Structure 1
Amino acid sequence: MTPIGSAPSVFALVIGINKYETHDPLEGAVADADAFARFVQTLGVDEDHVMNLRDGAATKVAIISALKSLKNNTKIQHGDAIIIYFSGHGARTPVPSEWVDWESNESQIEMICPVDIGSTPGEGETEISGIPDRMVGLWLNDLSKEKGNNITLIMDCCHSASASRDPKDTGFVPRRILNPPAIIPKDWHICSHSRGAAVASGFGGQNQESHILLAACGRGEQAWENPKTKRGLFTTALLKTLSESDLRNLTYNSLFRKINIPVSPPQTPHCYGQYIGRRLFDRRATGADPSFISGYKRDDGTIILDAGGSHGIQSSSKYSIYRNDIPSSLSNNYLGFLVVHSITPTTSILGPTKDTTSFDIPSRFFAKDTWNGTREPALVYCDDRERLESILRKASEWEDIPRPEALGIVLVDDAKFANIRVSFEENQVVFCRKEGIEAAFVGSRLPRTTQVDNADGVLAVLKASAKFNFHLNTTNISAHSISDDKLKMELHRLDGQWSDEYKWVVTPTGPNLINNNQVDMVVDPNAIFGVTLHNHTDSPLYPYLFYFDGSDFGIQGWYVSPIGMGGGRDKNLDAPLLPKSKFTIGYGDGGALPWAFHLPHGENKDIGFLKLYVTNSPTDFSIVLQDSPFDEVNSRQYFNPTSAIPSDGCYTKTVTIFQRREGMPPVTLKSMPPNKYIPYSGIMFFVLLIAFSLQPTIIFLVLLAYAVYKNRF
């Protein structure tokens, strides 16, 4: 293990419980906690930065006090790493009837079990209950506001109420308590005073902005102890991976791709959080490049890329292979390249070509498209082409490429073939959209510009426009589709108010704002919004929701499903959207924050797109994410508090959000999809058609080109 070096200071709370007062004991929880505490010491952490609670010391009062003390610890500076580790029993119990504001698929809450759970403090008093997820979520939200969101919560316990997997046959022991005491009135009273939009049920459904959660298993699984080693499977695998890795170049994403737990008994670790691309315990250093896609090599030698047609992967695309997902890492050298041989909606098979130089392919790796992450470059038109080319040649990336197309840039001679136009106004570079639904509503000119002498900035805008258009217009490639009556998406304004019991209740209000895949709204800077997904199919589904900002080409993730182990071991990840149920985003138990819309400074209108991807197997859509290429970035996130899909299918839905100031006329455009993105290959076909029409003797090539074109599009 290579330590993290000059990362922020680290503080930790490590809890391990074997000997419960009124429930079955465990054998490995304390040993796991001790081992994790030793790992923390290897990070160079001062002893007084670590709080340890074991067995009898880990009472409910002591755990709560320790959690609260982190917020008030003056030694912890904003941005310092905070690690909370718990090893012991977990449990589930019904949601208290008093939580009338709480949306939950299964009407269950999860809890961690202190050593005195089930004990009675005194004669006639109520049994001590566990510490509910909603309460922990409250503290984590408050802690992140005070100390920053460089918080990692690690839980080696389980909350499944199922006893269907009998551990007696194998000797493996589950870390869970069945039929725990109900939440006591004091606990639900505290939680009910929380703002429901900011906290969610289930530890995996907590506010994903506030922390990263590493969980030992899914909601229906058990977290097991090995009877031979008397250690937890998850903590053992986690510490083994950490000890074998260079922590300076390890992100949460790459960490989980490397973890390996025995196939039997079944246990699927989960990783939740908005920032899983960060380096471990370090929010300040450069994190993962979202264009790096994870992959693995099977035992039979088959090479799998964890992305497919729904991510925009195309046959014969060429991918560079790397060991990790941090582009600036000195140790992340290019290993070689492979090409795509076949594609499914969520995976691809890679392989060499005749020209590929043989190289050792790691069992877990990351891959990056050699064409800037998209095979459809930006088609750029500029009246002063010579000046634009002169600017682009000064960009730092330009020196290292064999041709401009490798950066996703193609300069065209006719504006009607372009999807972005460039012009100059004094020392500013101006960017204009192509004609279409966006330009018809807000005008063709983007509200932001770039300095002429900022060559890297100009190139970044053009590349961002290519990725924006490509992913916005990538649609469902599955032969099977799904209608709105089977999978319905609603957007509602959220209303928060104090009830008669002085509880803060956040609920959807008013009608569904989506009408024929469009939303026409007058922007209210104080309004917040949430999405409700209704699954009327018989399949559990994995939703991924993104916002495409038409004013600056930024692509933000509103909700992403959890990730799991690499190597194809993530198929048992919890599906957020269960059959015949609904899932909420921005309120309730979805774990995402509400959304807010605002207009760029000085603008009366704006346009954006909500794009929903839904798969029936877990995948990773990080490749879609994109920061705004402009200097001025404003997040739209609000921070106050009968199956229709076959195996490995993907469904997409795009909703256009027309935003205008009060007094501006409503949208009168006819219902239509977003701009039809003209693929580069399509442009080339028409050019070839004109050229070949002048050469009748080679008309056969025209027909061949047409056949290829029709087969693709």
Structure 2
Amino acid sequence: MSAPSRIDSFQRKVPKIHALIIGINKYKQPHLHPDLEGCVSDAKSMLRYFTDLGVPEDHCLCLYNEHATRDAILNAFMNHLINNPDIKPFDPIVIYFAGYGDSMPAPESWKTADWTTGMILPHDASTIDEKQCYNHGIPELTLRFLLYKLSQEKGNNITLILDSSQFKRNTRGVRSRSSHDPNAPSIPDTLDLELRKSLSVDFPAETEHELASKLSSRSFMGPTLETHILLAACKSQERAQEITNEDFDLGDIIEPKASGVFTTALLKELRKCDLSTMSYATLTRKLLADPASYIIQPQTFQCEGRDRDRLVFSVQNSILKRDIGVVQTSEKGVYRVNIGSAQGVVPGTEFGVFYPDPKPSHASSHTDSTSTPRMILAATDVGPTISQLRNLRSNGPPEIPIDAYVTILRYNDHDGVRIWVDEAVRQDKFWQGVLMKLDPLPIVWVASRINHSLELFLSNGDLELRGSHWIPGQFGGPHTLKRAMESGELVNRIDAIVYFYFNLKVQNDQAPVRDKLGIALRELKAGSTSQRSPGYEAQGGDLFGDNVLAGTVATLHADLDKVFGLKITNNSEHDFFPYVLYYDFEDYSVGSLYEPPGRTTRAQLLAGTSMTIGYGPGTSSPFQVDFTNPKSEKEYGAFVLLVFSEWVDLACFLQDSPLTTDSFSNERRCTEYRPGIWDKLAWDSLVVRIEMVKGK
């Protein structure tokens, strides 16, 4: 049963790994948490595996038994990992814990999905500290804050390995790694608050948003923010078991005397696999395909994380998931890849660039699977199947060779609208009161001014708001919300701006027909007339050009003397009800350019056909392309085509500008969009991003 001491000779070396290894057999309160037998030996086996891989021993901080106190574990996260200058961006980081886990009711303010929180128990769990406070375990919220900060500082090449469990109920004959103090006091809201504040991840930060939205059936510490890969001993309702190691032929106990079922199986597989080809997903399949016959109770090994197709301890993809070719465009610093929104890419998705050393020290010219990215690119213009990438961290990006490729490091497609708040606003009690009332909205409050939609400043006591548009890192002119307004009206106006961004992000992740949809903008001229209304005919070409397919920004010229119409195309095999909305970034209004006449009508956009809006058959009106603000030099907007297999009420998407000086009514006229609301329908969308400049 003990892990083999030899590592297969073909195994690649991974000297860049940095690890925090924790193993606890003995607890300070043994009457509450009886001694375990295999955790320290499991932790030492993990250390031996890493040193056999060529990892310098000083890259691994090991905390055993009485050295693994609560403070020691938290300090190790900060000093050995987060603040360690020797760890470079995207170096592999491994955090291993073997010991007791537990679960307790969570404070209400933590807003966990099932009102409970899992935790790992340090050596001094259930004791009273020098401040006469009860020593709780380290809860999931604290661990998520630490992992989020670590991923921001060092990249998300992080593997969390947990050989513990949180299931309270004990089963006779099973030695499990879960324990509970029945007399433990409730967890205070402020547990680890000072630590969380020091990490510059503020309320209700992405980590809290993640915890609140996490499905209760997921494993303890299952990632949803792309911070790490989780390898766990069991499901949330199972027990992590440890067993006695015996020589079944002689009946003798062998060293180590006990070990965890999960750690033993994991190390056995890791030692014999080829890390240059083994992904996390494949590793887990192999573990599950060879269940241990000595397990007393069901124990299902877990692997969670969006990046399970990465090679183990790497940010590169396994051979089963094709690397993405990247080419440099004619514009310096701009690159193109054949992957887009249909594959989950959004503006802000980060890609790592890899290519072989031009002067390799050995015969092979292939990129080492342990290599870290040579540069980071971010998606700026995203089409259904094509994206343009830019290097946002450098003004003079180097040219890349023809054999370069990229892998996705972070999708950055969080559901909430990301808002950055200046410290002066945070300290102002009036505005804090207003922002607190936004709590139910789909908002992620961010600590850094990177990849966010809105930013809020204090200006002479008023709130100055700036919103992002289609040019990465650039924001529109400031808008001011007056302190003199009623608190409720201020909340309504900010609510409308939040939903402007939130609803604009709504898309079907499966993209079932996106590549079969088309939309073209045509200038119109007066044609034949009737007694009822003038007729219009299209002239000239499609003013959107190739920007719809490429996902790039189309340039339009404002001109009050011209009128325009649209042609929408459905090359799929399905009939659809079409809707065309226009999102105006200048004043955050959303208007309808076309919607079906009513729920009793038939689908208008038939399979394999096109229809026109503003000209040709039908009664829809043409529209003008002009500035919302007459003083503008440039404005931004978006045409959004949505198609559904049934009639849908989209009234809640439409709104007047929340920035008008008159009183603003934010009464929504239909159920607000929420993920999954259209799951029973066939639907999809197409977004055309535009910049409007002064007429020629």
TM bin, normalised by shorter chain, reads 0.3 to 0.5
Higher helix share: 1
Larger radius of gyration: 2
| Structure with greater contact order relative to length (CA < 8 Å, sep ≥ 6) | 1
Give the TM-score normalised by the residue count of structure 1: 0.45
